[in-house]
Amino acid sequence: MVGGNAIRGSRVGAGPMGEAERGEVAPRLYISYFCANGHVTRPSFAQEPGLVVPELWDCPRCGLPAGTDADNPPDAPRVEPYKTHLAYVKERRSDADGAQILDEALESLRDRGLIR
């Protein structure tokens, strides 16, 4: 038999939690956001002067961006593939530039006697 502890599961000093103790709740504005997978999210915002409602909201179910237009939800962001250092260098230099730099480096090594 379990002991008869009347306050089991509550903390010391806990009392009834109601509107009287916490104060009144601020007026809320609920905005519906729609993602490309058809999920609907309804976050609430406190109605206050100068409230700026965000155009996009991340869907908590799939992580895609969600917008306020149900007929035209925003597209999923395009994921760029990982680029290597060589890929970035090839964007900046042409093959002719690379050949010229290689020839200069080899000539420098030959002048110092490090290669033949």
Q: Over 80: is that where the pLDDT of 21 sits? A: no
8 in a structural domain? no
- The strand pairing partners of 45, in sequence order, are 29
8-32: b (≥16 Cβ within 10 Å) or e = eeeeeeeeeeeeeeeeeeeeeeeee
Q: Residue 4's pLDDT is what? A: 58
60 & 94 share domain: no
Element (H, E) at 22: helix 19-22
Q: Please say if the pLDDT value at position 29 is more than 60.
A: yes
DSSP 35: E
> Domain for residue 105, yes or no?
yes
Report pTM. Answer: 0.53
Q: Helix, strand or coil for residue 45?
A: strand
Domain assignment present for residue 95? The answer is yes
Residue pLDDT, tens place only, 82-115: 999 988 888 898 989 989 999 999 999 999 988 8
What is the DSSP secondary structure assignment for residue 12, as one 8-state letter?
Answer: T
Asked whether residue 20 is domain-assigned, the answer is no
Looking at the structure of the chain, the number of domains it has is 2
Return the structure tokens found at 13: 């000093």
- Residue 34 domain-assigned (yes or no): yes
Q: What is the pLDDT of residue 17?
A: 58
12 falls within a domain: no
Q: Indicate the burial class of 95 (C-beta count within 10 angstroms; 0-12, 13-18, 19 or more).
A: exposed
6 within some domain: no
59 and 89 assigned to the same domain: no
Domain that holds residue 57: 25-67
**Inside any domain, residue 37:** yes
Q: Which two tokens stand for residue 81?
A: 């593939």
Structure tokens at 72: 């035209």
